[in-house]
Amino acid sequence: MTDAPATQKAPGSLDLVGAGPGARDLLTFRAMQRLQQADTVFYDRLVDEEVLELAPPAAKRVFVGKHVGAHAWPQDKINAVIVAETLKGRRVVRLKSGDPGIFGRVAEELAAARAAGIEAEVVPGVTAACAAAAQTGIPLTEHGVSDILVLTTAKCKADDPLPDCALYAKPGTTIVIYMAVRQAGDRPVSRTV
Distances (CA, A) of 193 to 116, 118, 154, 172, 175: 47, 45, 19, 8, 10
Over residues 87-104, the mean pLDDT reads: 95
Residue 185 clears pLDDT 80, i.e. is over it? no
- pLDDT for position 165: 74
The share of the chain scoring above pLDDT 90, in percent, equals 63
CA distance 75 to 81: 10
Residue 163 clears pLDDT 70, i.e. is over it? no
Question: Which domains, and CATH codes, for the chain?
Answer: 13-123 (3.40.1010.10), 139-178 (no CATH)
Over residues 163-174, the mean pLDDT reads: 82
Marked catalytic residue, from 48, 60, 66, 155: 66
| Residue 10 banded pLDDT, cuts 50, 70, 90 | low
CB under 8 Å to 67, separation ≥6 — which residues? 45
CA distance 62 to 6: 30
Marked catalytic residue, from 39, 44, 96, 99: 44
- pLDDT for position 31: 98
Q: Using alpha carbons, select from 2, 35, 156, 10 the residue that is nearest to residue 90.
A: 10
CA distance 13 to 166: 43
| Residue 158 banded pLDDT, cuts 50, 70, 90 | low
- pLDDT for position 68: 58
| Residue 156 banded pLDDT, cuts 50, 70, 90 | low
User: 109 and 78 in contact (C-beta within 8 Å)?
Assistant: yes
Q: Using alpha carbons, select from 150, 100, 149, 108 the residue that is nearest to residue 125.
A: 100
The share of the chain scoring above pLDDT 70, in percent, equals 80
Average pLDDT, the chain: 85
77 is catalytic: no
Residue 100 clears pLDDT 60, i.e. is over it? yes
186 is catalytic: no
CA distance 135 to 152: 20
Residue 95 clears pLDDT 90, i.e. is over it? yes
| Residue 159 banded pLDDT, cuts 50, 70, 90 | low
User: 152 and 176 in contact (C-beta within 8 Å)?
Assistant: yes
